[in-house]
Structure formats: C-alpha cells, structure tokens
C-alpha cells in the first residue's frame, strides 16, 4: 500500500507538469491548427529566466527565501509569456496565410535558435536549480510524500483552474473560442483576431514556463536541452487526450504519467530485470504511435477533416 501511494503521488506530480506544457500545444492548435514545436523551449526558458531573476535579486540562489522565490516564479512566467507573444509576431504571424507547413518549419527554427542562444549565453552544461518549496517528507500509510510534490500539485492545479476560468467564464475566453471556430467569421463580427491569437501565445508559454520551473525545482537541475524530450512527451499527452481539447490535454498528461510511472515500476519485475527504468521514454513514444494508429483524434478529440479546416479558415 505504501509503495502504491508513493507511485501514485509521483505520477500525479509528473502528470501535472506534463499537463501545463500540453495545454500550450493544444491551445495553439485549437486556434491556428498549428503545432508549435518551439513550445518545449518555453518550458526551458521558464527555468532559466527564474534562475536569472534570483541571481540578480539575491546573488546566492540557494539562499533565496519564500518571497524571492514566489516573486521570481510570477515574474518569470509573465516574461516568458511576453516572449511567446513576440515570437508569434515575428516568426508566425507573417506566415499565417501561407501553407500549414510553413509556420511549423518556422517553429522548428525558433526552437533551435532558442536552445543555441541559451547554450551560448549560459553554457551547455546542466545547472543546479533551487527548490521552490521546503523539503519536508511525510509518511502516509507507509508511503513517502514530499512537500515539494504537494507544492507542485497545488501550483499546477491552481494554474489549470485559472485557465479553465479564463477560457469558460471570461470575455477573453469567449473571444478566443470564437476565433478558434472561425477566424474570418470572428473578424466580420468585429472581434480582434490578432489580439485573441496574441493571448493564446501569452497564456500557452506562461503555462509552459510554469511547468519548467516546477520541473527544475522537482529534479533540482536545468539544462538548455531540457525542453526537447519533455516537450515531446507533453505533445504526446496532447495527442493522447485529443489535440485541440483543453480537458483532453490534461487527461492525456495524467494518463501518460501513470503509464510511465507504472510501467517503469513493473518492467523490471515482469521482464526479470531484462528491461529497466531506462525504458520509460520508450513507453511514452510507443503510446504516441499506438494512439496515432488506433485513434488519431485522441480520447476527447473530434475527428476533423482537412476540408472542414480549410472551410473554417476561408469562410
């Protein structure tokens, strides 16, 4: 029972981080029908911007207090959100009316540029990252739950609840949903389409940056390439839940995390040590292939034809 509780909390913690990143992928796709391959680098930038802010504020990052850590977290995610808007204006907006492949290729270029830029400015080596939560362990029915895991879950669920409120209960959310249905129609109704798209590219990177800070805080390390594999896993989660569906992205993230954690724990037992924990990434991408073969629309996604996408864009 103790091991079950501990593995469940581990999966929930990882799933919450995946969910924050997957939401960025699904929001951009829901509005622009575009896969933003640079989104994983927003995850990485969140950790680096937070680390830079702490270094500028107090010098010794390891001695940061609760107020400094909270301030760095909030400022960092907003800074990355603004960077996301800037990237959309420079790299994606000029290609908005071109083929669907052009902005995706542009996003790959942005991704490589960001990784290379951080490697030049901060160095390619991994850097120790401070914990944003006090490290206290609690025994629960024989399992161990840390205060870091609790803090990550509280912060992630607060952000996801905030996104749910923004999309479903606010005027901005209504505008974004209208644009996602049909950009030309929304424009005819007097809706500021560019403003709605900018909001999506602000909120998505903001959530991704929050995921990056929580991830670096959980594992105690950050690196310029940290967004590559985690970004692909979050993309897998978005596909699994249904790309374009916000609830689907969250559901897919937690399912993927439970499969990862459960598979990692069971593989050495089932295979008698032949396959170990190093195969956890194989499980994630095997799920991506399986979902694309069996149900490409995902669990909560709707099958949408290419003709209907073109209709929405043009009419």
To the nearest whole percent, how much of the chain has pLDDT over 70? Answer: 90
At 289 the pLDDT is 86
Tell me the C-alpha distance between 85 and 237, whole Å: 24
Alpha-carbon dihedral angle through residues 16, 260, 298, 177, given to the nearest 10 degrees: 10
β-partners of residue 138 are 145
The domain locations on the chain are 1-312
CA 197, distance to chain mean position in Å, is 18
Tell me the C-alpha distance between 204 and 197, whole Å: 11
Tell me the C-alpha distance between 171 and 178, whole Å: 11
Helix, strand, coil percentages (3-state) for the chain, rounded to 5, are 75, 5, 20
The CATH number of 1-312 is 1.10.3470
Structural tokens at position 69: 């850590």
Report residue 114's pLDDT band, with 50, 70 and 90 as the boundaries.
very high
Question: Model-level pTM?
Answer: 0.89
Higher pLDDT among residues 308 and 53, named by residue: 53
Tell me the C-alpha distance between 233 and 238, whole Å: 9
pLDDT in tens, 12-22: 999 999 999 99
At 303 the pLDDT is 55
Alpha-carbon dihedral angle through residues 23, 27, 29, 30, given to the nearest 10 degrees: 130
- Does residue 69 carry a pLDDT above 60? yes
Alpha-carbon dihedral angle through residues 155, 71, 21, 7, given to the nearest 10 degrees: -40
Tell me the C-alpha distance between 45 and 212, whole Å: 7
Structural tokens at position 56: 């500028």
At 59 the pLDDT is 64
Strands 137-140 and 143-146 turn out to be antiparallel
């Amino acid at each position: 029972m103790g091991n079950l509780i501990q593995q469940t909390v581990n999966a929930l913690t990882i799933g919450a981080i995946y969910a924050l990143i997957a939401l960025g992928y699904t929001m951009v796709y829901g509005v622009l029908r575009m896969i933003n391959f640079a989104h994983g680098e927003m995850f990485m930038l969140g950790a680096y911007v937070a680390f830079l802010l702490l270094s500028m504020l107090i010098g010794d990052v390891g001695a940061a207090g609760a107020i400094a850590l909270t301030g760095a977290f909030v400022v960092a995610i907003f800074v990355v959100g603004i960077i996301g808007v800037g990237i959309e204006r420079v790299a994606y907006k000029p290609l908005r009316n071109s083929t669907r492949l052009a902005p995706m290729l542009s996003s790959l270029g942005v991704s490589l540029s960001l990784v290379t830029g951080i490697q030049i400015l901060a160095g390619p080596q991994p850097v120790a990252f401070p914990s944003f939560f006090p490290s206290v362990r609690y025994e629960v029915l024989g399992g161990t739950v840390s205060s870091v895991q609790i803090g990550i879950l509280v912060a992630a669920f607060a952000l996801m609840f905030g996104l749910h409120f923004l999309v479903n209960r606010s005027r901005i959310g209504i505008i974004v949903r209208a644009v996602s249905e049909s950009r030309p129609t929304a424009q005819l109704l007097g809706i500021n389409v560019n403003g709605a798209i900018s909001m999506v590219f602000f909120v998505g990177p903001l959530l991704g940056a929050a995921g990056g800070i929580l991830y670096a805080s959980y594992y105690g390390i950050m690196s310029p390439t940290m967004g590559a594999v985690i970004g692909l896993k979050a993309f897998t989660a978005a596909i699994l839940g249904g790309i374009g569906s916000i609830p689907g992205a969250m559901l897919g993230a937690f399912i993927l995390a439970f499969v990862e954690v459960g598979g990692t724990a069971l593989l050495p037992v089932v295979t008698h040590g032949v396959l170990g924990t190093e195969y956890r990434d194989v499980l994630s991408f095997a799920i991506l292939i399986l979902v694309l073969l069996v149900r490409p629309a995902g669990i909560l996604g709707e099958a949408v034809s290419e003709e209907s996408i073109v209709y929405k864009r043009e009419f």
